[in-house]
Chain A
């Protein structure tokens, strides 16, 4: 009994891994116009994506309850400060349902890039966000060029490569 059970379990494990590896989307090049949006910042001011046309824009979707999102924030902040003079802007879109935890987190760990709130998740839906965090890089003409899903240490190098490429265009 032991031998067939182990073989069967091993086979199903292999099947599970193969199927799983095809079932989720990887980061990569993308195309299409970036859906327009207007959201409110924590300060109460409204901001629209169209304001940034002509610049390279990275829209980063994050939440207070998402660990990897927190990890990446300081690196995004550094990247924003570095490339802003060259015509780059980073917009943080927070998907929390309530504002207080967002205010509290940003009070403890402030960032210099604009943070907009999307509690109704309309923008997340429009951008088909299927992983947390997700970063969408948009070129000067308002076209989506790259989508990065998830965050692992070292991914910020990929972001920088893409941003530099689009700034040069």
Chain B
């Protein structure tokens, strides 16, 4: 019975984090292609990932308590990009 950590899990995490690091390094010279004055649609509340936080957390909790999986249910970002 494999109850020790699968090597695949550790490797996939490391790969993802290194990937993000490389992306950040490579992209520091790229200029933003969506100008801040073009962000009106992204700033619209209908484009936010989760307008109602209590409801989102509540549904996540229902699924996690009935399913065998968990995790990776939220992301930050978007909006007007102000400041």
Contacts and interface: CB of A to CB of B under 8 A. Distances in A.
**Do A and B come into direct contact in the complex, CB within 8 Å?**
yes
Given A5-B14, A65-B40, A97-B40, A15 B25 contact: yes
A4 interface: yes
Interface residues of A, number: 36
A129 B24 contact: no
B38 to A, nearest CB: 7
Contact of A132 (B25, B28, B39): B39
Interface stretch (B55-63, B66-74, B75-83): B75-83
B83 A68 contact: yes
A5 B82 contact: no
Contact of A150 (B9, B20, B32, B82): B82
A143 interface: no
B12 to A, nearest CB: 11
B54 interface: no
B28 A129 contact: no
Interface string B19-49: 0110011001000100111111001100000
B28 A66 contact: no
A15 B24 contact: yes
Question: Which 5 pairs from chain A and chain B are nearest by CB?
Answer: A95-B37, A132-B36, A65-B43, A150-B83, A68-B82
5 contacts: A1-B9, A15-B25, A19-B24, A118-B37, A132-B82
Interface of B: 5, 9-10, 13-14, 17-18, 20-21, 24-25, 28, 32, 35-40, 43-44, 80-83
Given A65-B43, A132-B80, 4 more contacts: A12-B21, A19-B25, A65-B39, A67-B80
